[in-house]
Amino acid sequence: MSANHHSFRGNKSSLPSKPCVACGRPMTWRRRWAKTWDEVKYCSEACRRAKGSA
Q: Residue numbers of the site for Zn ion (CB under 5 A)?
A: 20, 22-23, 43, 47
Closest contact distance (angstroms) between CB of 31 and Zn ion is: 19
Q: Which is nearer to Zn ion, 6 or 37 (CB)?
A: 37
How far is residue 1 from each of residues 4, 5, 13, 41, 50, measured CA to CA in Å? 9, 10, 18, 33, 40
Q: Which is nearer to Zn ion, 23 or 40 (CB)?
A: 23
Burial class (CB in 10 A: 0-12, 13-18, 19+), 47: middle
Which C-beta is closer to Zn ion: that of 7 or that of 47?
47
